[in-house]
């Protein structure tokens, strides 16, 4: 997935996002999803770096991975995520965090699609969805995705897309299990060597 934060949800005291369970929305006591706050930025940056080092070590050139996870890069990400949480470029840009006993364990960012062949009024992009490897397989990714979809439906979004590294079988399997599929669009990033990404999509117009 793309890793450049583009937005967040303004308002440090915004209401928690309710997690959909078996057709109804239910507030979670010990785990759940809420809008990110500026104070969450350091935790989000730490999760980003840990997840990249764990999940992308065989997908990205070593020099690139070292550069984007170095201590100075972590500080840059922290500043960007703080801005995303406190001053998003539009109300449709949001940053959500998954929490477990008040500990931030994952995050998701979304905003209007910027792909030239998509209508940003009806198509949104899941820019990032990462869960701390120390808290994997606990349902946090599914809760983040469900909360993202619920918010986007309220915005009138019909289609959700996301870019994934072609070799990222974990992300592709996770989204595939939620009904996503490749839409036939791909691109190649120049990271010192070519790195291919594919675009996935899903129809969220009907609950």
Tens of pLDDT, residues 11-32: 233 334 544 433 333 344 589 9
Mean pLDDT along residues 142-154 = 97
pLDDT at 13: 31
Check pLDDT > 90 for residue 146: yes
Mean pLDDT of 89-107: 96
Phi, psi of 11 (to 5 degrees): 105, 105
Let me know: does 123 contact 161? Beta carbons within 8 Å. yes
Length of the chain: 207
Q: Determine the Cα–Cα distance for residues 125 and 197; give it in Å rounded to an integer.
A: 14
Only one residue has tokens 């699609």, namely 113
19-21 and 103-112 strand pairing: unpaired
The proportion of the chain whose per-residue pLDDT surpasses 70, expressed as a percent, equals 86
Mean pLDDT of the chain: 88
Task: Enumerate the H helices of the chain as residue ranges.
Answer: 41-55, 62-68, 71-86, 140-154, 169-177
pLDDT band at 121 (very low <50, low <70, confident <90, very high): very high
Strand runs labelled E in 166-204: 181-190, 194-203
State the pTM of this model. Answer: 0.86
In order of 122, 165, 206, the CA distances from 157 in angstroms are 5, 24, 10
Q: Which residue has the tokens 């809420």?
A: 34
Q: How far apart are CA 84 and CA 88, in angstroms?
A: 5
* Each residue's pLDDT tens digit, 155-198: 999 999 999 999 999 999 999 999 999 999 999 999 999 999 99
């Amino acid at each position: 997935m793309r890793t450049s934060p583009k937005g967040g949800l303004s308002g440090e005291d915004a209401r928690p996002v309710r997690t959909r369970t078996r057709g109804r929305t239910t507030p979670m006591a010990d785990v759940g999803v809420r809008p990110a706050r500026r104070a969450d930025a350091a935790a989000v940056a730490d999760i980003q770096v840990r997840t990249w080092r764990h999940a992308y070590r065989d997908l990205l050139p070593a020099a690139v991975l070292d550069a984007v996870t170095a201590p100075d890069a972590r500080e840059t990400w922290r500043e960007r995520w703080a801005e995303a949480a406190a001053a998003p470029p539009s109300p449709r840009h949001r940053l959500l965090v998954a929490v477990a006993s008040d500990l931030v364990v994952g995050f998701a960012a979304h905003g209007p699609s910027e792909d030239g062949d998509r209508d940003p009024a009806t198509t949104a992009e899941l820019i990032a969805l990462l869960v701390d490897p120390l808290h994997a397989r606990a349902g946090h990714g599914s809760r983040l995705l469900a909360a993202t979809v619920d918010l986007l439906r309220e915005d009138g979004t019909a289609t959700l897309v996301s870019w994934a590294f072609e070799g990222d079988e974990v992300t592709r399997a996770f989204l595939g299990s939620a009904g996503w599929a490749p839409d036939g669009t791909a691109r190649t990033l120049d990271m010192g060597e070519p790195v291919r990404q594919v675009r996935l999509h899903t129809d969220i117009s009907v609950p």
